Structure 1
């Protein structure tokens, strides 16, 4: 095995490759790049500003460790500042304009397509930018049909996550509540502060028939619901639940990425048109 080929197989992180190794990776059959996205936003008085970014990066790295070295999957550096206007009412939140993030995805994705990569997965840990990444993915795919683009949300891919969370937290714990606090206790317990008070629950709700999220959602701002930045109850969080969440996330995403790597997606040949006679 030549030096370039060894370098290509020796790291999942594209920024650590030489340019010949990068070129070899791009030309590998089924070449897939995962770009983790987080956010830099308040998570109450007990969780760090980079909570979503930490989750996206650490879970992704654990998922990638489950694949053999020869698997054609690599990752980009973390995009740690995202689109978080709903949290700008609290100190510490940094948010990029939607247009800038979309433009960045289109630019980087276009360059990956030009290099020869076949797929780009946008691995997102921040719920407030799901729709934005979907728009960016659609525009990128339209501009570069040869590149499969998959915008994913950390918490909604693997099956069975909801079964690990009891009501009302499953429905009402929107931000920095029991779930995020439990996972942080598992991954980075030293970053969890002691002040874990419930907030944002039972606050003024949207008019009848409307909801904060779901079928008839609102563009809510955190200060509409909470004085602390928490929307949920982190007081019941514990490391055992965090461990269960971590295992379910890693196993679920490993299976999903394995399915993608074993597929021929996106289709390469256009489907024949039906005879309309």
Structure 2
């Protein structure tokens, strides 16, 4: 079986697979952002990339584009903030333009359907802008293009949340570097997780506003917004199975 990753194909094979817009192109978009002292800087890239490959392997006529690794600025109340060493982000306009240019290049190859799998909460609105701009430009040029935008966590059900958090769920807002992401990483890249460095913190609480410049005292020194200690690879498998199956059933 040929690889579903575009970067692993030669150009002739890529052309044959994508001619006449036969393939849906999946583009993972993430971020390089701290996820606590127990985990690498790239879960927001690795997780949607893993899901993208598994979805493409289950479905006909799907290919996975190389991930966009740099995302929009980490925000204190969703990612701990942009002031942590290692968190390396771009402006919203840069992300929007970059995603637009990448999608436009794939349109120029003859591709017509795209699935953006987001792995970094802060990216969402800039991905919307890029998709909207592309679709309108292509329509004006007489080309029909469709872009689907999703964040993988939107496919996690309440039933799965109850399994992963048997003692109660503190909410999506404080899951940065917590049980969900850590569990998935323990499943797909255990070599990038060191639970001996995991810090037990209470779920973060924030005032009902943002402030600029951001206030580092709003975030625990670990950078996580909740405790990752209950994370396990088994929980990661439960989460991944549901996300992959859900996405594949919608687009396969």
**1:10-89 pair list within 5 angstroms:** 10-28=2-20, 30-67=22-59, 71-86=60-75, 87-89=81-83
TM-score in terms of structure 1 length: 0.77
Helix, strand or coil: the match of 1:122?
strand
> What are the ranges of 5 or more consecutive residues in structure 1 without an aligned counterpart?
1-8, 211-217, 259-277
Is residue 176 of structure 2 the alignment partner of residue 175 of structure 1? yes
Is residue 201 of structure 2 the alignment partner of residue 199 of structure 1? yes
CA distance 1:222–1:190, shift in 2 (3 Å): farther
Structure with more relative contact order (C-alpha pairs < 8 Å, separation 6 or more):
2
Q: Is the 8 A contact 1:53 1:125 kept in 2?
A: yes
Match for residue 6 of structure 1? none
- CA distance, structure 2, for counterparts of residue 94 and residue 35 of structure 1: 20
Question: Residue by residue, what CA displacement relative to the aligned partner does 1:23-46 show, whole Å, maximum 9, x if unpaired?
Answer: 333324542111111211100111
Larger displacement relative to structure 2 (106-115 or 231-240): 106-115
Is residue 130 of structure 2 the alignment partner of residue 136 of structure 1? yes
Is residue 218 of structure 2 the alignment partner of residue 229 of structure 1? no
**1:90-105 pair list within 5 angstroms:** 90-105=84-99
Larger displacement relative to structure 2 (220-229 or 191-200): 220-229
Q: Is the 8 A contact 1:45 1:196 kept in 2?
A: yes
- CA distance, structure 2, for counterparts of residue 202 and residue 85 of structure 1: 16
TM-score in terms of structure 2 length: 0.84
> What are the ranges of 5 or more consecutive residues in structure 2 without an aligned counterpart?
76-80
Helix, strand or coil: the match of 1:40?
coil
Question: Residue by residue, what CA displacement relative to the aligned partner does 1:38-78 show, whole Å, maximum 9, x if unpaired?
Answer: 211100111110111111111221222223xxx22111112
Larger Rg: 1
Helix, strand or coil: the match of 2:116?
strand
Give how far 1:195 is off. Answer: 2.2
Give how far 1:164 is off. Answer: 3.7
Match for residue 78 of structure 2? none
- CA distance, structure 2, for counterparts of residue 56 and residue 153 of structure 1: 8
Match for residue 146 of structure 2? 148
CA distance 1:237–1:141, shift in 2 (3 Å): same
Q: Is the 8 A contact 1:134 1:151 kept in 2?
A: yes
- CA distance, structure 2, for counterparts of residue 120 and residue 50 of structure 1: 23
Helix, strand or coil: the match of 1:120?
strand
- CA distance, structure 1, for counterparts of residue 147 and residue 162 of structure 2: 29
Question: Residue by residue, what CA displacement relative to the aligned partner does 1:140-186 show, whole Å, maximum 9, x if unpaired?
Answer: 11111311111211111354544444333334533001111111111
Aligned Cα root-mean-square deviation (Å): 2.4
Q: Is the 8 A contact 2:44 2:120 kept in 1?
A: yes
Give how far 1:222 is off. Answer: 8.1
